[in-house]
Structures are given as C-alpha cells and as structure tokens.
Amino acid sequence: MVFRERAARSFTIGRLSRASRIVSKSASLRASLCLRISSSSGIVPVERQSVIMIRHLLNILFSFLPPSRFFSFRAALLRLAGVEIHPDAKLCGRGWIYGRGRLSIGEGTWLSPGVVFHTHCDADILLGARCDIGHGVEFIPGSHEIGSSHRRAGTGTALPITVGAGCWLGAKSLVLGGVSIGEGAIVAAGSVVTRDVAPNTMVAGVPAVMKKQLS
C-alpha cells in the first residue's frame, strides 16, 4: 500500500513538472515573439494567440491539482498568462478561464472550485479584495444585440463586470456584462445578476432583485 501511494505521488509530481515546462515555454514564446499571423478575421498578433494557449494549458494543468492546494503556484502561472491576481488571492481548480481579456483578482479573494470566467478583450472583469466567490459561479461579459427573425442573436457585444470589495457570490450564480456589484453585497446562490447591485445589499432570484439591506 505504501509503495502504491509513493508511486502515485511520484507520477502526479512528474506530470505536473512536465506541464509546468510546457507553460514556461509558452510564456517565453509570448515574451519573445512579435510576429503577426493571418486568420479568418484578418491579422492577429502572435502574442494574443499565445495568451489563449497559455490559459488553455493552465486550465488543463489546474484540473490535475488538488482543488484547495498550491495557491501560490497557481497564482504565479496565472500571472504568466496575463491574469492580474494578487499573491494573497486563492483560486481553486476545476474551473476555466476563456479568452484573452483582462481579468483582475484582488487581495484575499477566494474563488471556489468550478468558477468560470469568459474574458473578452473589450470588457474587463474586475474582482475586488476580500471577495468570496462560490462554487460554479460564472462571469459572462459577452452577449448579442437582438437581431432579425432570420437570426435573433445579432451583433456581438461585450460590457465590463466589476465586483466590489468584500462581496459574497453564492454558488451557481451568474453575472452578466455591464454589471457592477457594490462593496459588501451578497448575491444568493443560483441568482442571475443582470443589473447593478447596490453596496451592502442582498439580491436573489432570476433576474436578481434586492431582498435585504445589510448593515
């Protein structure tokens, strides 16, 4: 039994080491290359493509780590991928960071397993200090204008998301673009936040509405 545990531990450490080397090589590529490549939407800097790749590799790597361990290791690698995360912030695994947009996570903020960020280059996602983000919370800044009956999801849009200091977002809540959540607010589990939340209030529901003024 002891031999099996040691073998499993060695295998995990070796796998993490190999993944770390891949991430480091991708970070070097991002720092050293200034080339441009063609794509279906025109000319795209290689740096932007490498940011997406680094984040994708980190998402995979973090899925192998214990959810509530290696916080400093995660933060260091996320900074290589352009995420502005405070050294004291703690991001658990089993979530995902999509896109190459700006993501900022403040001091002492806790992100539970399964948190998902759909970042967008035209819309920042900013989390203040001392926030607690529950399991499976999603941040989605992108949407669409209402189109014609031919295709109702029309022109794409993106609006920033801001979460003030000290907020608590309950599990499985959803925060949409253009929303600003004031300091000290609470979003109940399962809520869909479609408009601004005043500081020191509790909101709940679909869409979320104010339920209580907090002291």
Buried b (16+ CB within 10 A) or exposed e, 60-70: ebbeebebeeb
Evaluate if residue 15 carries a pLDDT over 80.
no
Could you tell me the CATH number of the domain that includes residue 29? 2.160.10.10
Structure confidence by residue, pLDDT tens digits, 126-169: 999 999 999 999 999 999 999 999 999 999 999 999 999 999 99
Would you give the end-to-end CA distance of the chain in angstroms? 54
- Catalytic residue IDs: 144
Task: Place 61 in a pLDDT band, splitting at 50, 70 and 90.
Answer: very high
Overall number of domains in the chain:
1
Measured CA to CA, the distance from residue 22 to residue 102 in angstroms comes to 23
pLDDT given for residue 151 in this prediction: 96
Is residue 19 helix, strand or coil? helix
Measured CA to CA, the distance from residue 29 to residue 54 in angstroms comes to 10
Structure confidence by residue, pLDDT tens digits, 176-193: 999 999 999 999 999 999
Write down the pTM of the prediction: 0.79
> Which residues span the domain enclosing 73?
2-213
Task: Place 23 in a pLDDT band, splitting at 50, 70 and 90.
Answer: very low
